[in-house]
């Protein structure tokens, strides 16, 4: 019974065979083979490094291991984040191409749930292995840590499905009215908490002078009585992963496997008619996937609200042809990114709070360090979430190419509104943080001034790569090796570009500063001149990127967009 109906098992095998055939077809192309080799090589190197460090490394010590309180808190945070995510898929989600077939097939509702559970568990295998490999390097017995974390992560999909079914049974009396922006914010906050708790180093007793530092807060948080009580449900899995002996590990493993079987059968046997709600969920997900296929990802893929249709969009960049193209993007941002901007503002505010705590005991470098952290982390997060540029215009590239304006001006008009928005948010965050800490200085103003060209360059690089290798998001493509290879190559290109630009900018600024100091010019004057030279170099490099983007746009090949 647990394995499901034979016909549904056959359907799962056929779907898996289809995924493999699709993968092999992509390997026959030069681009697909190149991306696959890069992605597979990166995965092998990363997994090999983690396993070798866990099994043969000598860096483990009693002071660096994960505490039981910390392990329970991480497990609870993962479970809570997954439960909130499950509330956006009410009932039982089935793909649009399968739902009508399965609902009229001569199988019970429980068998359909079993089929969906096994599918979800299969998709969770890679993520569970990834998390388990991270955990095994932070425990005393790596194999126990790996198995414990793996079993825990494979239990999370069952909890999520059970929550979805129970929420659907309540006909969404309050879940449906719950703001989706709050759910997304909880997911993002939970992810940041998990990453911080996993990767921040742990220490024993804090030093007397370190009270109030970020690491001290991260160490004390899991030990709070309220946090310990909330994290207690994760005790079996956390204790199993931290076991020091087989006598302690195997009874807990049997207990957790028994819980897994009970949850699986509870999901399959629950007496809930989910069919009507599942049809609505499937249609909603199909609409989202349709927007993804047009290139609309992140906030650009959201739907504009009816209340914003009558809003007056300001002409921020003039009323000529260039201003009209930028005005079009500005209107899209105002009408589509309201919820995303609220979440982005909250995340930027969180960066301000984090930097205030992190650099509390380092007043000498707090102004510069916090400003750089806000600028860099904010640029990466905001540019990844907004995407109001050519990546949302993939279905309209024929119209974009026909506009009677120079390609480089079209390229700049498409990316400038988003760059100005990100620069404004980060500038406000840097000023707020510096005002609260009372350390507004020339270094802070220099970082804030350089944030604008850096953001523009970051977005320009993303769009140049996109115009060279246009990509449509399709269901299942996120697990393919080509996608991993593409992401890795784009990351390497960003790193190389940032390193090159940083070297040129800082080299030029340092040379000017050294020359003026050698000429006995005042230190403040020399620093100001160095900042001006650095900004001039940044502007020149951005100009080259815009010209390159216009060249790539003029040669955009529609035949490569499949």
Question: Which of 470, 472, 465 is CA-nearest to residue 491?
Answer: 465
Question: Which of 1, 137, 131 is CA-nearest to residue 61?
Answer: 137
Q: What pLDDT, on a 0 to 100 scale, did the predictor assign at position 23?
A: 76
Q: What pLDDT, on a 0 to 100 scale, did the predictor assign at position 360?
A: 58
Alpha-carbon distance of 316 to 313, in angstroms, equals 9
Alpha-carbon distance of 557 to 559, in angstroms, equals 5
Alpha-carbon distance of 396 to 410, in angstroms, equals 13
* Residue 301 dihedral angles phi and psi, to the nearest 5°: -90, 0
Q: What pLDDT, on a 0 to 100 scale, did the predictor assign at position 412?
A: 93
Residues 150-174: tens digit of each pLDDT:
999 999 989 888 888 887 766 544 5
Q: What pLDDT, on a 0 to 100 scale, did the predictor assign at position 206?
A: 44
Residues 297-334: tens digit of each pLDDT:
554 455 555 555 566 788 888 888 899 988 888 888 88
Rounded alpha-carbon distances, angstroms, from residue 91 to 136, 165, 493: 35, 5, 42
Q: What pLDDT, on a 0 to 100 scale, did the predictor assign at position 141?
A: 84
Alpha-carbon distance of 159 to 264, in angstroms, equals 9
pTM listed for this prediction:
0.64
Question: Which of 386, 384, 296, 379 is CA-nearest to residue 341?
Answer: 386
Q: What pLDDT, on a 0 to 100 scale, did the predictor assign at position 205?
A: 44
The length of the chain, given as a count of residues: 562
Tell me the angle at which helices 246-269 and 109-123 cross, rounded to the nearest 10 degrees.
140
Question: Which of 420, 371, 190, 166 is CA-nearest to residue 271?
Answer: 166
Task: Give the Cβ contact number of residue 35 at 10 Å.
Answer: 24
Rounded alpha-carbon distances, angstroms, from residue 83 to 95, 163, 165, 281, 544: 20, 7, 11, 16, 47
Q: Are 289 and 97 in contact (CB under 8 A)?
A: no
Alpha-carbon distance of 489 to 339, in angstroms, equals 31
Helical H segments across 270-365, by residue range: 275-293, 321-336, 338-358
> For each of the chain's 562 residues, which pLDDT tens digit applies?
566 778 888 888 888 888 788 777 777 777 677 777 777 777 777 777 766 766 665 444 444 456 787 788 788 888 887 777 777 777 787 877 788 788 878 888 888 888 888 888 888 888 888 888 888 877 888 888 889 999 999 999 898 888 888 877 665 445 455 555 555 666 566 656 655 554 444 444 444 444 444 455 555 666 667 667 777 888 888 889 888 888 989 999 999 999 999 999 888 888 877 777 777 777 777 676 666 655 555 544 555 555 555 667 888 888 888 999 888 888 888 877 666 666 677 777 777 777 766 665 555 556 777 788 888 888 888 887 777 888 777 778 878 888 888 999 999 999 999 899 889 888 888 888 888 777 777 778 878 888 888 889 889 988 888 888 776 655 444 445 666 666 777 777 777 877 787 788 888 888 888 888 888 778 778 878 887 888 888 888 889 999 999 999 988 876 655 5
Residues 6 or more apart whose CB falls under 8 angstroms from that of 276 comprise none
Rounded alpha-carbon distances, angstroms, from residue 321 to 28, 403, 413, 415, 546: 43, 9, 9, 15, 17
Q: Are 422 and 452 in contact (CB under 8 A)?
A: no
Alpha-carbon distance of 267 to 272, in angstroms, equals 10
Which pair of structure tokens corresponds to residue 118? 């096994």
For the chain, which residues make up each domain, given as ranges? 66-202+213-291, 309-560
Which pair of structure tokens corresponds to residue 322? 């260039």
Task: Say whether 187 sits in a helix, a strand or coil.
Answer: helix
Alpha-carbon distance of 288 to 521, in angstroms, equals 60
Rounded alpha-carbon distances, angstroms, from residue 236 to 103, 148, 249, 473: 37, 9, 10, 39
Q: Are 268 and 5 in contact (CB under 8 A)?
A: no
Alpha-carbon distance of 504 to 408, in angstroms, equals 24
Alpha-carbon distance of 325 to 311, in angstroms, equals 18
Residue with tokens 């630009």, as numbered in its chain: 501
């Amino acid at each position: 019974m647990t394995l499901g109906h034979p016909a549904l098992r056959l359907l799962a095998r056929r779907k898996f065979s289809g995924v493999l055939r699709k993968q092999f077809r992509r390997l026959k192309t030069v681009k697909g083979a190149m991306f696959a080799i890069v992605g597979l090589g990166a995965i092998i190197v990363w997994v090999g490094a983690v396993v070798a460090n866990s099994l043969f490394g000598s860096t483990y010590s009693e002071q660096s291991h994960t505490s039981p309180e910390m392990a329970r808190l991480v497990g609870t945070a993962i479970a809570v984040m997954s439960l909130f995510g499950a509330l956006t898929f009410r009932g039982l989600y089935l793909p649009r191409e399968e739902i009508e077939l399965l609902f009229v097939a001569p199988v019970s509702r429980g068998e359909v749930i079993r089929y969906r559970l096994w599918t979800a568990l299969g998709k969770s295998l890679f993520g569970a292995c990834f998390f388990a490999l991270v955990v095994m390097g932070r425990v005393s017995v790596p194999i126990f840590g790996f198995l414990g974390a793996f079993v825990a992560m494979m239990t999370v999909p069952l909890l999520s499905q059970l929550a979805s079914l129970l929420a659907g049974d309540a006909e969404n009396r309050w879940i449906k009215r719950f703001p989706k922006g709050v759910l997304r914010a909880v997911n993002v906050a939970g992810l940041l908490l998990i990453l911080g708790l996993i990767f921040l180093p742990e220490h024993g007793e804090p030093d007397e002078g370190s009270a109030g530092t970020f690491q001290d807060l991260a160490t004390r948080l899991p030990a709070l009585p309220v946090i310990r009580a909330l994290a207690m449900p994760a005790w079996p899995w956390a204790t199993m992963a931290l076991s020091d002996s087989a006598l302690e590990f195997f009874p807990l493993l049997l207990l957790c496997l028994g819980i897994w079987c009970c949850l699986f059968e509870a999901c399959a046997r629950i007496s809930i008619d989910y069919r009507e709600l599942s049809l609505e969920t499937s249609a909603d997900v199909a609409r989202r996937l349709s927007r993804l296929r047009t290139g609309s990802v992140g906030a650009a893929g959201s739907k504009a609200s009816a209340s914003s249709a009558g809003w007056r969009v300001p002409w921020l960049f003039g009323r000529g042809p260039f201003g009209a193209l930028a005005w079009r993007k500005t209107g899209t941002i105002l009408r589509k990114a309201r919820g995303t901007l609220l979440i982005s503002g909250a995340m930027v505010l969180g960066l301000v709070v984090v930097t205030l705590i992190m650099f509390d005991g380092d007043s000498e470098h707090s102004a510069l360090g916090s400003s750089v952290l806000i600028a860099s982390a904010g640029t990466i997060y905001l540019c990844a979430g907004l995407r109001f540029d050519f990546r949302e215009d993939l279905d309209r590239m024929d119209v974009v190419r026909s506009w009677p304006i120079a390609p480089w001006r079209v390229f700049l008009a498409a990316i400038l509104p988003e760059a100005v928005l990100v620069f404004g948010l980060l500038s406000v965050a840097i000023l707020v943080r510096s005002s609260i800490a009372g350390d507004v200085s020339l270094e802070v103003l220099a970082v804030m001034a350089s944030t604008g060209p850096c953001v523009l360059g970051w977005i320009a690089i993303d769009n140049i790569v996109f115009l060279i290798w246009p990509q449509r998001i399709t269901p299942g493509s996120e697990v393919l090796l080509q996608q991993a290879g593409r992401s890795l190559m784009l990351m390497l290109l960003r790193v190389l570009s940032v390193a090159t630009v940083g070297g040129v900018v800082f080299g030029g600024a340092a040379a000017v500063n050294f020359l003026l100091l050698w000429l006995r010019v005042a230190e403040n004057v020399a620093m100001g001149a160095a900042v001006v030279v650095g900004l001039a170099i940044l502007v020149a490099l951005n100009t080259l990127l815009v010209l390159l983007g216009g060249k790539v746009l003029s040669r955009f090949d529609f035949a490569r967009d499949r």
